Amino acid sequence: MEHIFSFERLWKVIPQLTPYIGISIRIVLYGLVLGSLLGMVVAVIRIKRIPVIHQILSVYISFMRGTSMLVQMMLIYYGLPMLLLAVGIDINSWDKMTFVYMTFILNEGAFLGELFRAAIESVPAEQTEAGYSVGLTGAQTFLRIVLPQAVKTAIPGYGVDVIGMFQNTSIAFTLGVVDLIGRAKTIGTAMGHELEAYVYVAFLYIVVSILFRILFHWIDKRYSFGREGVAG
Amino acid sequence: MGFEYDNFLDSLSYGIRYLPVTAKLAFTALFVGIIVGLVVAVVRHYKIPVLSQFLAVFVTIYQGIPTMAALLVYNLLFSSLIGDIINALHLKVAVRDVDNIVVGYVALSLFSVVSISETFRGAFMSVNKVQFEAGYSVGMTKLQTLRRIIIPQVIPVAIPGLINNMVGIIKGTSLVSAIGIMEVMNASIIPCSRTYSFVEGYAAAALIYWMFTLVLETIAKRIEIWSKRFRKELA
């Protein structure tokens, strides 16, 4: 057998594969932006303990926590069209990417919802009372006193979550989406050698993950003002 | 074509039959992760030269690789090298008899070592430096201090993180379905290839994973409370 790894082939796959990182980034952006919005709704409902919805959300969060994203994605991909067909909406022609986005948004909604809830609840009740005592309304107290403190608490967890989400984008290829791994597979088949493409994919994931980590470390430092004295 | 309840039950029974495979994958990875992860954390905490720097770089890099990508790379290496390995070791097994579940064990164990070592490292940092000094001051060696003073304090702190690691590992086991290992995920969809309706299969797999995680999490929470029984007096 000839060499299973050659740098010649590695150089050849680099320009072919690199643009596909964009698909993973796009999934992360969708999951981050829409997932955060969903997470905020989830957090508010859970904190206010709105009956019925609160219980439904507990089950939703438990499900998202207890099953892998791969299972969730398959369930949404095969289950949602069937569910919607029953009420007369046909989504069978939708792009596969839409289902990937949905999975990430729903999954992130649960995880970020819990993260936000924990962060908001970590702000001592006296802070809210202090807001009321100087005559602020409920919304003003939340926006000006509680939220800025909660955001600081949430940042490290948020960073870990985003990196995790970025790595989870590697499951998208199982639906047949041509992302990094999907493209690596087709290139590998065409060349007769898959290893170089996969090694490069792993390398790209490492680099982007580390960049994300540096970014969040910087954000965390940037917004930790006023905390040093308290942390002690 | 709606949701067929009978097919769902069919998938459920197939999936449950392969739960031991998933459980074995998860527990092996968890066990290896706790043992090796603890060693890695200790090495990094004591800053043992060379080894600790190497592990720091390795952990940082390995955390960047998605388990899925690692699995695919290992599987490829495994399938292209297994013949050579068998020849080199003069083993009397045919290439096709070697199950690639080994790849699943290796990939999940490495993932678990890396993530659990970070949990332990965080827990080590939470132990006050004074505790180490107290151990040395009564004439204990480094290892004695570690075993009798530090680790008993590290464990209760680490348990919540370990529970998260465990849940992550269980979820990770479903990824090995991508390299064709027969476990809960792949087994649940066996009946589906007959009906071409996959919802029931994946719904069954989701239910099995969900229940499995919930049961283990409940047990782990009990252990967490039990492990903290000496801390209450302090708090």
Domain shared by B103 and B154, yes or no: yes
Which residues in chain A have their CB less than 8 angstroms from residue B173's CB? 68
Which residues in chain A have their CB less than 8 angstroms from residue B212's CB? 66
Which residues in chain B have their CB less than 8 angstroms from residue A202's CB? 65, 69-70, 73
Q: Do B199 and A71 touch (CB under 8 A)?
A: no
Q: Tens digit of pLDDT for each residue in A175-225?
A: 988 888 989 988 888 888 888 888 899 999 999 999 999 999 898 888 776
pLDDT over threshold 90, residue B229: no
User: Which of A117 and A228 is assigned the larger pLDDT?
Assistant: A117
Q: Check: CB of residue A120 under 8 Å from CB of residue A47.
A: yes
Domain shared by B125 and B89, yes or no: yes
pLDDT over threshold 70, residue A36: yes
Domain shared by B88 and B158, yes or no: yes
Structural domain for B5, as ranges:
1-18+182-235
Domain shared by B33 and B106, yes or no: yes
Domain shared by B95 and B155, yes or no: yes
Domain shared by B227 and B141, yes or no: no
- The Cα–Cα gap between B184 and A195 comes to 28
What's the mean per-residue pLDDT of chain B? 89
Structural domain total, chain B = 2
Predicted pLDDT of residue A1: 47
Domain shared by B60 and B163, yes or no: yes
What 3-state class would DSSP assign to A224?
coil
Phi-psi region of A51 (alpha: psi -120 to 50; beta: other; left: phi over 0): beta
Q: Domains in chain A, start-ordered, CATH in brackets? A: 7-224 (1.10.3720.10)
Residues ≥6 apart with Cβ < 8 Å to B223:
B159
Domain shared by B32 and B134, yes or no: yes
User: How would residue A231 be classed by pLDDT, with cut points 50, 70 and 90?
Assistant: very low
Domain shared by B29 and B144, yes or no: yes
| Shortest Cα–Cα distance, B135 to chain A (Å) | 25
Domain shared by B58 and B73, yes or no: yes
Q: Tens digit of pLDDT for each residue in B94-152?
A: 767 778 888 999 999 999 999 999 999 999 988 888 998 999 999 999 889 999 999 88
- Mean pLDDT (whole number) for B155-180: 91
Q: What is the CA radius of gyration of chain A?
A: 22
pTM metric for this prediction: 0.87
Which residues in chain A have their CB less than 8 angstroms from residue B167's CB? 65-66
Q: Do A75 and B185 touch (CB under 8 A)?
A: no
Domain shared by B175 and B190, yes or no: no
ipTM: 0.85
Q: Give me the CATH number covering residue B71.
A: 1.10.3720.10
What's the mean per-residue pLDDT of chain A? 88
Which is nearest to A127 in space by CA: A152, A96, A108, A107? A152
Domain shared by B42 and B78, yes or no: yes
User: How would residue A72 be classed by pLDDT, with cut points 50, 70 and 90?
Assistant: very high
Interface probe, candidates B3, B8, B68, chain A, greatest A C-beta count within 10 A: B68
pLDDT over threshold 90, residue B209: yes
Q: Tens digit of pLDDT for each residue in A4-15?
A: 778 888 888 888
| Shortest Cα–Cα distance, B200 to chain A (Å) | 9
User: How would residue B92 be classed by pLDDT, with cut points 50, 70 and 90?
Assistant: confident
Q: Check: CB of residue B98 under 8 Å from CB of residue B82.
A: yes
CB-nearest partner of B3 from A62, A82, A174: A82
Q: Tens digit of pLDDT for each residue in B30-66?
A: 999 999 999 999 999 988 999 999 999 999 999 999 9
pLDDT over threshold 80, residue B224: yes
Q: Name the strand (E) or helix (H) holding A89.
A: none
Q: Do A68 and B69 touch (CB under 8 A)?
A: no
